[in-house]
Amino acid sequence: MAHRTRTGTYQTIAVGDTRVRAFIPHPLPPHPTLRTKARQQRLLEKAHLALGRLDGVRTLLPGTAFFLYTYVRKEAVVSSQIEGTQSSLSDLLLFELDELPGVPLADVEEVSLYVAAMNQGLRRLEEGMPMCGRLIREVHEVLLSRGRGSSKEPGRFRRTQNWIGGSRPDRARFVPPPPGKVADCMARLEKFINDDESNMPVLVKTALAHAQFETIHPFLDGNGRVGRLLITLMLCASGVLKEPLLYLSLYFKENRMTYYDLLDRIRTNGDWESWIDFFVEGVGVTADSAVQTAQRLVKLFEADRIRIGGLGRGAGSALRIHEALKQRPVASMGSLVEATGLSAPTVSASLATLEKLGVLRELTGRRRSRLFGYVGYIRIMNEGTERA
């Protein structure tokens, strides 16, 4: 690690009747310059190879739209679980079909808003907006537009002090910058993100930006979720990702204590290098995991297609149902009629056949307004999102 005595300054402020020391980070990039050791170089090479394989998923799959649909939702579930929600992927898919999930409605609505926030950020990038404070505030505004966070000034940098960990600021694990410093800190972060003259690898820049964002903690609520969204948005904006298929929330969730400890070490002794190693390794692990998931789905689809093809006369209709369930793994009979162009009696008969084959399962137990889930598909995508 390069010798760094400080990565920021402290300012003593009053929060109610308590005085605390709030941390104001120095602007990026770190000083002295980051030291790239052989280990970090190897991790960067492995991560870029994994990202290349992930980009190749587009040739492996018949289309990335269905994979994106569920993968973005899986990320929304895991990222929200880190903040304490109990929603699963199945809960979210039911909610999107106006069905009651098996957990409190507020939990699933929060996850649904994460999907909307991600889509807002991606849409703004496609329209040509750079990675900037305005885009980040727009994403935050969507994320907290309804439900539990709607009273926490959606889309606005905080105007009061917050803290991380502990019931009181004087017992907090960490106290971010005072509200009067937030706008300046974010402006400097935006300048760093958009510094095109830097020769810094994109993954390293993204690692630094995520850590700095979490240190600034610019909003009253939703900082963790926006900080994780920032990673994917930066990688898409830079062209490292052609499709938003990389999400580190599950990696952070599985290594939660290491994640928090490394962020603390940046602030206390300037150990950016250990954080970057952890982050870059996570990119490689996560990209490889996404590729493996895609490969498993391709095998599942092909195995089920062969089984369905052996049905004889009813195979054609059942295969059309199968194709529709690949796009949306939870569906109603009405939505399948619309998606396939088949008649309601034909869809009903095919669903019964597919249920006997074990390809799908009826989810509601009702006689009317029934919902059907693609069992194998949901099982694969649910991995890592199971409620504790």
What is the CATH number for 332?
1.10.10.10
Tally the domains of the chain: 2
Tokens 């994109």 — which residue?
202
In a domain, 299, yes or no: no
In a domain, 304, yes or no: no
* Tokens encoding 329: 């793994």
3-state secondary structure of 136: helix
Tokens 């920021």 — which residue?
8
Element (H, E) at 333: helix 333-340
3-state secondary structure of 119: helix
Same domain? For 364 and 229 the reply is no
CA 339 to CA 15: how far, in whole Å? 57
In a domain, 1, yes or no: no
Q: What is the pTM of this model?
A: 0.92
Sequence-separated (6 or more) residues with CB below 8 Å from residue 7? 25, 26, 30, 266, 267, 270, 272
Contact 359, 344 (CB under 8 A): no
Among the candidates 234, 266, 292, a domain finishes at 292
Q: Helix 344-357 crosses helix 315-327 at what angle (to 10 degrees)? A: 80
Same domain? For 25 and 108 the reply is yes
CA 120 to CA 138: how far, in whole Å? 8
Same domain? For 248 and 206 the reply is yes
Distance from the first to the final alpha carbon of the chain: 37
Quick count: other Cβ atoms within 10 Å of Cβ 289? 18
CA 273 to CA 34: how far, in whole Å? 7
Q: What b/e readout covers 205-221, taking b as 16+ CB neighbours within 10 angstroms?
A: bbbbbbbbbbbbbbbbb
In angstroms, what is the C-alpha Rg of the chain? 23
CATH number at residue 29: 1.10.3290.10
Of 242, 245, 243, 238, the closest CA to residue 283 belongs to 245
In a domain, 3, yes or no: no
In a domain, 346, yes or no: yes
Range of 326's domain?
A: 310-382
Amino acid at 259: Y
Same domain? For 228 and 344 the reply is no
Same domain? For 332 and 283 the reply is no
Same domain? For 323 and 287 the reply is no
Q: Tens place of pLDDT for every residue, the chain, 388 residues?
A: 556 667 899 999 998 888 999 999 999 999 888 887 888 899 999 999 999 998 888 777 766 677 888 889 999 999 999 988 888 888 888 888 887 777 788 889 999 999 999 999 999 999 999 999 999 999 999 999 988 888 899 999 999 999 998 888 888 999 999 999 999 999 999 999 999 877 899 999 999 999 999 999 999 999 999 999 999 999 999 999 988 889 999 999 999 999 999 999 999 889 999 999 999 999 999 999 999 999 999 999 999 999 999 988 889 999 999 999 998 899 998 999 999 999 999 999 999 999 999 999 998 877 777 899 999 999 999 888 775 4
In a domain, 215, yes or no: yes
Q: What share of the chain is helix, strand, coil (3-state, %, to 5)?
A: 60, 5, 30
Same domain? For 222 and 350 the reply is no
